[in-house]
Amino acid sequence: MLTVGVARRNINPPINIPHAGWGAQTHVEAIDIEADLWTTAAVIGDENSATVIIDVDTSHFDMTQADEIRRRVAMKGGFDVAHIRVSTTHTHSAPMLQSEYYPNHHDTITAYFEQICIQTVEAVMEAAGRRVEATARTGTGMSRIGKNRRQMLEGGRVVVGYNPDGITDPTVSVIRFDDRSGNAVLSIVHYACHPTMLGFENKRHSPEYPGVTKRVVESLIGGTCLFLQGAAGNIGPGPEGFRTNLEAMKRIGTALGYEASKVLTELSAEPHSEPIFEGVVESGAPLGLWRMVPPSVADSPFAVCAAVVRLPLREQLPIEEARAQATSYTHELERLQGSGASDEEIKRVTFQAKRAYFVLRRSELYGGKTHLDMEVHLVRIGDTALVGLPAEIFAEIGIAVRGQSPFSHTLVSGYSNGWQGYLPTRADYSFGGYEIDTSPYAPGADEELVRSLAVLLCELKGKRTDRSTQTAEG
């Protein structure tokens, strides 16, 4: 029997923590909180094993932070670390937990991360204790709120904006978990779009549109909703993005929530067996009455595993050179912030500092290496597969994996168990742009990832119980 349990905790941050992470922002701290930020945990499994899927309202965790959360959950709950998935919604209006260019806020960031860890472990333990027998059904809808964001200007420069002709993935995937009485216990909504409606001028902590979507689904369907961010590396909210328009943000979150709720509602009518005709009642018109028969509880094959995919890397800047560059910009930013400099000066150096620390992190993590062993997390629930990986993959990659998967439904997500940069398609390297400039991966990494995941998914399709960690090389 499939079982599921879910629980949630509030993780609202202190106001004096570095807010967001926009290079163009002039503020450091937020002024208030637009809506509660949550950490939500689901424990799903059968009599043999279980997976823990955690949804956190924050931008992303680095690999060390994600590993620490997983370690604590495993130690407290007795779970296999490889079976734990820590995903983030990728909201750009939450605290930045990697703000090295704000060294004076180190203690505040550390304390807030500790709060996230404690609350997440509590949520997992409560969810584990609340597991009930459940059925799981998956469906898909369509939403056009996500737009391609790789905009090419007349001079050939690619910016993060709006490309109406670019590829998108409008698929809204949902999974509904009902208890034996047919009541929704858990719903999962999966969609690909950067939560960047609230831009660099926004000064409020916010879960952004995924937070709105979760609230809409829970109000209409009941139970608890998790949001899993999809292959959103080159997908954003389009021309309304970055403008700090709360009403527009709430509108797109509501629209996505309505679409998800529509599919979830339709799924609630599916678990009946063939209706049985009971007879006719004479009522002016002869009325044919049918009886809907509850089904026997179906067996949903369950499996969970971690696997390692080997991807090619670019050459990185020497670490000492990268560190000197980042330190220089940090000192300059501190000087400007303390001297009453103009907003434009602060924006310019904040942007340069952020980019410099991107370069430093890549040098520290990947310097001298030709390949990266990326851990991917895979779950099978019946004929549905969930794939989580620690990168911002382009929409084309998610679509390609789904197309080669043997499962009827395959939900491919980034922002899971850490963050290892943008992973573009080979074709995009020739155009350049932010995602390409900051990516640690060599051209062709996308093709290797798709090939490896196709193999792993085919193997997972034939498994009914968990497997140990393995390595997949194309």
The mean pLDDT value for 43-51 works out to 96
Which pLDDT does position 472 carry in this prediction?
47
Which pLDDT does position 462 carry in this prediction?
86
Token pair of 328 as six digits: 């220089």
The mean pLDDT value for 416-423 works out to 97
Which pLDDT does position 294 carry in this prediction?
66
3-22 exposure pattern, b = at least 16 Cβ within 10 A, e = fewer:
bbbbbbbebebebebbbbbb
Which pLDDT does position 296 carry in this prediction?
56
Which pLDDT does position 275 carry in this prediction?
85
Question: Residue 299 above 80 pLDDT?
Answer: no
The mean pLDDT value for 391-414 works out to 98
Question: Residue 470 above 90 pLDDT?
Answer: no
* 157/345: higher pLDDT: 157
441-464 exposure pattern, b = at least 16 Cβ within 10 A, e = fewer:
bbbebbbbbbbbbbebbebbeeee
Which pLDDT does position 338 carry in this prediction?
86
CA 322 to chain centre: 29
Which pLDDT does position 356 carry in this prediction?
86
pLDDT per residue as tens digits for the range 77-118: 999 999 999 999 999 999 989 877 788 899 999 999 999 999
Which pLDDT does position 464 carry in this prediction?
43
Separation in Å, CA 295 to CA 146, 267, 269: 37, 14, 12
DSSP 105: G
Which pLDDT does position 267 carry in this prediction?
93
pLDDT grade for 471, boundaries at 50, 70 and 90: very low
Which pLDDT does position 24 carry in this prediction?
87
Share of the chain above pLDDT 90, in %: 82
Question: Residue 366 above 60 pLDDT?
Answer: yes
